[in-house]
Amino acid sequence: MRKGFTVLWILCAAIMAVSCGKTKSYTDMLNDEKKAINRLIDERGLEILSDFPKDSIFKENQYVKLKSGLYLNIIDKGTDQRAVLYSTKVYYRCNMHFFLDTDTVMGNYGPHSNGTNMFPIGYPSGFAESVPFTYGEGSSADSSSPSYMYVSDGLNEALQYVGDRGKVSLIVPFSIGTYYDQSQGNPIHYEILEYIFEENL
């Protein structure tokens, strides 16, 4: 009896250890993201619109939720020059807010940033190379590529609404985030993001 109880105890401990070591399921990541986005909306007092405001002029706390799940606030439409799909090379500078399991803001947006480095400060130094992304090209699954961590469908989608030097604020769900964010289940709040066309640097 005692031997059987010991074997049962070891088996239960092993099952618990295996189950605790499992990564989150996709459903768990979606649920965690939904809670985190709702918490961010409540804490920041954001107003979520179902349609674009008249003349696409947003109040500071207003975001429109697009069909893809992207939350968009246009801060400044920029110039009339629009990016050309699969042609225009774009740099960006931003302040990124990681709000799922942490409350960290990183970025390269500021008075001394000329936009020639699209990578937020604090990211791995191996990605410190200054490289623009091509409008329309998504994130790469190749972890050695800069677009693995810095280019997403969300960034591309928002660019269709503004021109060169356009500024937006975004909440990007992980499903349309970078390949890295998709793998981690990380939504990102871009508190401010400015697009800069390479040809106009």
Contact predicate 61/44, CB 8 Å: yes
Closest Cα partner for 145 from 193, 178, 108, 109? 178
- Alpha helices by DSSP H, listed for the chain, are 2-21, 26-44, 147-150, 153-159, 179-184
Q: Tens digit of pLDDT for each residue in 90-104?
A: 988 888 999 998 888
DSSP state, residue 66: P
DSSP state, residue 88: -
Structure tokens at 82: 């629009």
Contact predicate 76/102, CB 8 Å: no
> Tokens 């990564």 belong to which residue?
23
> Tokens 């070891």 belong to which residue?
10
Q: How far is CA 74 from CA 86, 90, 112, 114, 158, in A?
A: 23, 18, 23, 21, 9
Full pLDDT tens readout for the chain, 201 residues: 445 434 444 444 444 444 445 678 999 999 999 999 999 999 999 999 999 998 889 999 999 999 999 999 999 999 999 999 999 999 888 889 999 988 888 877 776 555 444 444 444 444 334 578 999 998 888 988 878 888 999 999 999 999 999 999 999 999 999 999 999 999 999 999 999 999 998
Q: What's the predicted TM-score (pTM) here? A: 0.82
Q: Using alpha carbons only, how large is the chain's radius of gyration in Å?
A: 21
Q: How far is CA 198 from CA 91, 101, 117, 133, in A?
A: 7, 34, 11, 9
Mean pLDDT of the chain: 83
Question: How many Å separate Cα 97 from the centre of its chain?
Answer: 9
